[in-house]
Amino acid sequence: MKTGKKILLISPHFYPEDFKCNDVAFELAQRGYEVTVLSDIPNYPGGKFFKGYGLFSKRRELVNGVRIIRTAVIPRGNGSGIRLALNYLSFAFTASLWALFLSFKRFDAILVHETSPITVGIPALVIKFFCPKTQLLFWVLDLWPESLQVAGGINNKKILGFFEQLAKLIYRKSDKILISSNGFKSSICAKGDFANKIVYFPNWAEASLASNKDYILPELPHGFKIMFAGNIGEAQDFEHTLLAIKLLYDKGHDNIHLILVGDGRKKSWVEEYVRSNGLEKMVHCVGRHPLESMGQFFAKADVLYLALKDSMIFNLTCPAKLQAYMSAGKPILAMINGEGGNIISDAQCGFSVPAGDSSCLAETIIRMSTMDKEDLKQMGSNAGLYLKREFSFESNMAVLEKLLNE
């Protein structure tokens, strides 16, 4: 049934890339909204344009009732600082040019999916300038300029000041600010009187995480399997994670295995550390696999693992990986501070140790590896129940539809 409402979703990441904005756009279209997506040519995470896509191919698509406009960008490449900056800036520039044209379409609402950087909000500001009555919903999944300082290592006051002012402008022009973590409130409210605009909009587990029994998994080791799935990057603190594995190795616990499913800028460092410390029998990098295979990977794990470095921005974050893990009904182990650890404790679905505490992580791994299987199973059940209660996609869509119809 058509609602008559026209929605523009702005995101540098959209199908066939795997992001939660896909779920939102396709569901809105199914519910009768006229949905247009302004995105770029898919190139995440590999850094190259996906097969079949390019500057002269598949720039316009219709997928599941959603119209997709793909603006030209410089691909991410190997993810180096300069290449990444060019990718970010090229999207902000070319998408803003498209925004001038799209201003004539008279959308009822704009939803900006702000993963990173905050410059993805600039095209929305362009439309808002020409169409001030258009509703702007800004969906925050990364805090700026904090992320630039912590993850990017940028400390130049002028650069940080520019992005601080840009964040303030976007928050001020937004009608509502959707946050994926309650911890984000303090950062956003420190930039202005925005408390009445903030709406809690937590992450959920993608339906595609359901086990795909037809996918052939790589051979996995026998023993107690701790599995990490996702980006192998700087933020995930593999230095302290592998130090914990080294402590276990030195104590003779070589029946414990850390399985890394994924890829990222830190992978080569991880592989070199494993070789240098003789951890090949305990640490297994099995590479990147499609999202649809994750359910089958998770089913083979005894414990699912996540970590973030100790920093203010990460302490405020609830990583989306947590909801994905909960959907598997497996116990969760985390080396993380703040919001994520609090959720694990509240859900009683596993254990969280302080960020960067390798000794405590090693001790907790030993504890979990010797626990009664029924106790581990109960933790996994608790995870699934908590996910259904607190992180429901249906509940989020009800919140979003209410906002769109205000």
What confidence score (pLDDT) does residue 264 get? Answer: 85
Report the DSSP pairing between strands 60-63 and 66-71. Answer: antiparallel
Average pLDDT over residues 281-302: 93
**Containing H/E element for 335?**
strand 332-335
- pLDDT per residue over 25-56, tens digit each? 999 999 999 999 999 999 987 889 999 999 99
**197 and 217 within one domain:** no
Question: At residue 75, does pLDDT exceed 80?
Answer: yes
**144 and 223 within one domain:** no
**285 and 395 within one domain:** no
Task: Give Dmax over CA atoms of the chain in angstroms.
Answer: 68
Q: If you compute the radius of gyration of the chain from its CA atoms, what whole number of angstroms results?
A: 21
What confidence score (pLDDT) does residue 155 get? Answer: 81
Question: At residue 79, does pLDDT exceed 80?
Answer: no
Percent of the chain surpassing pLDDT 70: 97
Question: At residue 82, does pLDDT exceed 90?
Answer: no
Question: At residue 60, does pLDDT exceed 70?
Answer: yes
**164 and 264 within one domain:** no
State the total domains in the chain: 2
What confidence score (pLDDT) does residue 209 get? Answer: 67
Percent of the chain surpassing pLDDT 90: 79
- Rounded CA-CA distance 275/273 in Å is 5
386 in a structural domain: yes
Q: What is the layout of strands, in order, in the sheet containing 135-140?
A: 60-63, 66-71, 34-40, 6-10, 109-114, 135-140, 176-179, 198-200
Q: Give the residue among 250, 235, 278, 281 at the shortest CA–CA distance from 359.
A: 250
**245 and 168 within one domain:** no
What confidence score (pLDDT) does residue 78 get? Answer: 78
**293 and 328 within one domain:** yes
Average pLDDT over residues 259-281: 94
Report the mean per-residue pLDDT for the chain.
93
- pLDDT per residue over 228-241, tens digit each? 999 898 889 999 99
What confidence score (pLDDT) does residue 311 get? Answer: 82
1 in a structural domain: no
What confidence score (pLDDT) does residue 53 get? Answer: 96
- pLDDT per residue over 314-353, tens digit each? 888 888 889 999 999 999 999 999 888 999 999 999 999 9
Looking up tokens 């001038």, which residue turns up? Answer: 100
Average pLDDT over residues 166-177: 97
**12 and 62 within one domain:** yes
**342 and 233 within one domain:** yes
**241 and 158 within one domain:** no
383 is in which domain, residue-wise? 208-390
Q: How confident is the model at residue 154 (pLDDT cuts 50, 70, 90)?
A: confident
Residue 293's CATH number: 3.40.50.2000
- pLDDT per residue over 388-402, tens digit each? 999 989 999 999 999
Is residue 16 reached through a cis peptide bond, with omega within 30 degrees of 0 on the bond before it? yes
**Containing H/E element for 283?**
strand 283-287
SS3 state at 340: helix
Q: What is the DSSP letter of 218?
A: P
Q: What is the layout of strands, in order, in the sheet containing 332-335?
A: 283-287, 256-261, 224-229, 303-307, 332-335, 350-353
**221 and 114 within one domain:** no
**286 and 141 within one domain:** no
Question: At residue 144, does pLDDT exceed 70?
Answer: yes
Question: At residue 3, does pLDDT exceed 80?
Answer: no
- pLDDT per residue over 203-229, tens digit each? 998 766 665 667 889 999 999 999 999
What confidence score (pLDDT) does residue 364 get? Answer: 98
Average pLDDT over residues 79-83: 80
Full DSSP string of 21-70 = HHHHHHHHHHTT-EEEEEEE---TTTSSPPTT-BTTB--EEEETTEEEEE
81 in a structural domain: yes
**Which residue type does 358 have?**
S
Average pLDDT over residues 369-395: 94
68 in a structural domain: yes
**338 and 299 within one domain:** yes
